[in-house]
Amino acid sequence: MVMDPSFFERVYLLVQQIPRGKVASYGQIAALLGHPRAARTVGWALNALTPARAEEVPWQRVINHAGRISISRADMDATLQRQLLEEEGVEFDARGDVDMRRFGWQGLDWFEVEALWEKRKT
């Protein structure tokens, strides 16, 4: 488990970089932050968003590695997440999955992630 208290803030900053119409997986976000085994912690970070902060952080753009919505929070339910993604142009197949090859975000490299964090701290 990631113990750095700034980890949640780093998750939020990185998720804010995912463009409209693209998605990333929990594990991808964790790996980009240097913690490839912290996918669950990324989920906890997104689950901890206050309603006001959820307006700033596009939480809906983070789904599981198989291209499925896997959210359990009452005020951020799967139906809302799907609706928000569809409004951005993300398409779901008949099973409700997103084609990660088509809609997956390529992400940033480590240096870009670190530069974002350093810029935010100044």
Residue 60, token pair as written in the block: 């809906």
Per the confidence metrics, is the pTM higher than 0.85? yes
**49 CB-near residues (< 8 Å, 6+ apart):** 12, 57, 59, 76
What are the phi and psi torsion angles at 25 (to 5°)? -95, 160
Mean pLDDT across 85-97? 97
Residue 83 scores a pLDDT above 80: yes
Tell me whether residue 98 is in a domain. yes
How far apart (Å, rounded) are the C-alpha atoms in residues 92 and 11?
Answer: 25
pLDDT in tens, 40-65: 999 999 999 999 999 999 999 999 99
Distances (CA, A) of 16 to 92, 94, 111: 22, 28, 17
- Asked if the structure places residue 87 within a domain, the reply is yes
Domain residue limits at 26: 7-116
In a domain, 122, yes or no: no
Query: How long a stretch of residues is the chain?
Result: 122
Structural domain includes residue 37? yes
Query: The domain spanning residue 89 has which CATH number?
Result: 1.10.10.10
